[in-house]
Amino acid sequence: MNESIIFNSPLLLVLYGIALSFFLFGLNSRSGKIIYLSTAIVVGTSAYALVIGATLFETAVVVVIFLIINLTHVGKEKDGKDK
């Protein structure tokens, strides 16, 4: 963890935080475009992390965290029914 580029870089953490915020906002406002924007930010930030020296594994871990967040937040319609 001490050698982690991602967890020791404030810029990367802020960018991932922005991506997460956009995701939650997009989910709340039922906007697919904002969710796609969040994904684009994650992908871009991960690519930047790799460029500045993050390992493939630690980048994969962050991507999997976002994957898990998406898997646990597949939304329901307002009337509570699954689509």
List interacting residues with another protein (CB under 8 A): 1, 4, 26-27, 30-33, 35-36, 38-39, 42-43, 46, 55-61, 63-68, 70-75, 83
How many CA atoms lie within 13 Å of 36's alpha carbon, on the beta-carbon side? 3
Q: How far is the CB of 66 from another protein (least distance, A)?
A: 6
Q: How far is the CB of 26 from another protein (least distance, A)?
A: 7
* C-beta closer to another protein: residue 9 or 59: 59
| C-alpha closest to that of 46 among 69, 62, 33, 57 | 62
Residue type at position 17: G
